[in-house]
Structure formats: structure tokens, C-alpha cells
């Protein structure tokens, strides 16, 4: 997919989708694959469990580009002792989160620096493909600085190598300006931003509705053709080269 020529105001772009935001569920192919946006979020939460279960109970987590807060809310309800925050460029998406009754600390991101070394874990779910490619390293670097030494960044993204994903993105209104990035591109971006990729798990080989195929989905994690990928990158521990 070609990069958009004009600079797009991503906050304002999502303000326009915020009212009754449904994560692209208006696409019939997506509705066939899963019953609700939560159906697509739950497998991601299961993938996160391996990481979060090894964090201290009161660890701090930021969901970067949290939108209406659905992913952050699922994390907080499964791990209630974690300090979960979310941030987003779009005021409209955050207002919609409030309208839906969020009790989380979701704050408006001004597009500049994030709080320094505050988080053990930062997640970004389907956010980077809405960021202009020329900004990818800059944003990854801001996220790295927001991590504590040894903290982790989890990127969850659409896989451009999966034809179904590419088709759905091409036919979904909120993705009109999306530029998909492969796991290899993400690795390169993170290397440039000073983050070390330690895990790539491909998933969503099968629609979330076919929940009984989840173990097969997990077993295929090394095959780079899933609908999405889950990438874990690590910030250096101070004192290590």
C-alpha cells in the first residue's frame, strides 16, 4: 500500500470515527470472522499473559493508542493489581471511552515525549499502521524512553503478508490511510530506536470465532503468514552494552 502523500492529522482523523467506534466491525468479512471487537482482542490478551504473569504485581502498563480503551480494560480486569493507563492522540476516542463508562486513567497524548522511564510494559495494538512511516522510528524511540530499564514493548500489528488481512484493510473505512508494516520492518524500526526484538509470534491464522482452533494457531506462531503478529522488544537494562 502506498504511503499517503499529505501529512494527516491522526488525532482528528480518529475523532471522526470515535462516535460508536467499532474497530472496523462494519466490514462484513470481519463480522464473519468474529462476533465483536472483544473477540479480536481476547487472543491478544492470552498472548500477553506469558509476559504479564512474570511482572511484579504492581507493575505499570501503558496502552499507547488506546482508542476507546477496550484492550486496556481487558488487561485491567484480568490483572487488577497492575497500574494500567492508556493514551491516545484523539480526544474523540477518549471521550467515547468515558461515554462507555471507563474507569481507567486514559489521557490525551500531545504527540511529543511520554513520561520518562515510567512503565514496565507498553503495548500498541493496531496503532503503528496509522502512524506516518517517516515517524515510526521517532515514535518507537519515545516509547523506549518511556520504558523502565529492562522494560518491554509489545507491538501487535496487521500482517501485510496475509492476503485476507490486506483485503480487509483495503475495504475498511478506518484504514483508508493505513500503511501496514511487516514484522521484519518492525524489527528494523526497533533496532534503530534502540530496542531489541526478543519474540515474534504470528497469530490469527484462523478467525477468532473458531476458538477451538486456538491451540493450532499457537503452534503455527513461527510461520510469518498469520493475520496479525505479536512482537516483543526489550529496552536495555542500564549498564549492559
CB of residue 239 to ligand SAM, shortest distance in Å: 31
**Rounded Cα gap, residues 96 and 94, in angstroms:** 5
Cβ neighbours, 10 Å, residue 78: 14
CA-CA distances (angstroms) from residue 99 to 76, 93, 127, 162, 192? 18, 10, 22, 35, 39
**Spacing of C-alpha 209 from chain mean position:** 21
Among 27, 30, 51, 71, binds ligand SAM (CB under 6 A): 71
When asked if residue 74 is in the footprint of ligand SAM (CB under 6 A), the reply is no
Among 34, 43, 67, 151, binds ligand SAM (CB under 6 A): 67
Which 182-221 residues touch ligand SAM, going by CB under 6 A?
none
CB 41 within 8 A of CB 73: no
When asked if residue 168 is in the footprint of ligand SAM (CB under 6 A), the reply is no
**Would you say the C-alpha torsion 230, 236, 240, 241 has a positive or negative sign?**
positive
When computed from its CA atoms, the radius of gyration of the chain, rounded to whole angstroms, is 17
**Where does this chain touch ligand SAM (CB under 6 A) — which range of 49-57, 123-131, 191-199, 225-233?**
123-131
- Write each residue from 127 to 166 as x if it is in contact with ligand SAM (CB under 6 A), else as -, in one continuous string: x--xx-------x---------------------------
Q: Binding residues for ligand SAM, per CB under 6 A?
A: 10-11, 14, 23, 64-67, 70-71, 88-90, 93, 109, 125-127, 130-131, 139, 174
Amino acid at each position: 500500500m502506498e504511503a499517503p502523500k499529505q501529512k494527516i492529522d491522526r488525532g482528528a482523523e480518529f475523532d471522526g470515527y470515535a462516535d460508536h467506534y467499532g474497530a472496523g466491525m462494519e466490514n462484513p468479512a470481519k463480522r464473519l470472522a468474529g462476533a465483536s471487537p472483544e473477540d479480536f482482542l481476547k487472543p491478544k490478551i492470552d498472548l500477553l499473559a506469558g509476559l504479564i504473569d512474570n511482572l511484579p504485581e504492581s507493575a505499570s502498563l501503558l496502552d499507547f493508542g488506546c482508542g476507546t480503551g477496550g484492550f486496556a480494560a481487558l488487561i485491567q480486569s484480568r490483572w487488577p493489581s497492575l497500574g494500567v493507563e492508556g493514551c491516545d492522540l484523539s480526544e474523540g476516542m477518549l471521550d467515547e471511552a468515558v461515554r462507555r463508562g471507563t474507569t481507567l486513567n486514559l489521557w490525551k497524548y500531545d504527540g511529543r515525549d511520554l513520561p520518562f522511564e515510567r512503565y514496565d510494559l507498553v503495548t500498541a495494538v493496531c496503532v503503528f499502521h496509522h502512524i506516518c512511516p517517516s515517524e515510526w522510528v521517532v515514535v518507537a524511540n519515545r516509547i523506549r524512553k518511556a520504558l523502565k530499564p529492562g522494560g518491554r514493548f509489545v507491538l501487535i500489528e496487521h500482517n501485510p503478508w496475509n492476503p485476507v488481512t490486506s483485503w480487509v484493510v483495503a475495504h475498511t473505512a478506518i484504514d483508508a490511510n493505513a500503511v501496514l508494516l511487516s514484522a521484519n520492518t518492525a524489527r528494523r524500526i526497533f533496532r534503530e530506536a534502540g530496542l531489541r526484538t526478543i519474540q515474534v509470534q504470528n497469530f490469527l491464522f484462523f478467525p477468532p470465532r473458531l476458538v477451538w482452533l486456538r491451540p493450532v494457531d499457537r503452534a503455527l506462531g513461527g510461520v510469518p503468514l498469520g493475520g496479525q503478529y505479536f512482537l516483543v522488544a526489550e529496552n536495555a537494562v542500564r549498564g549492559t552494552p
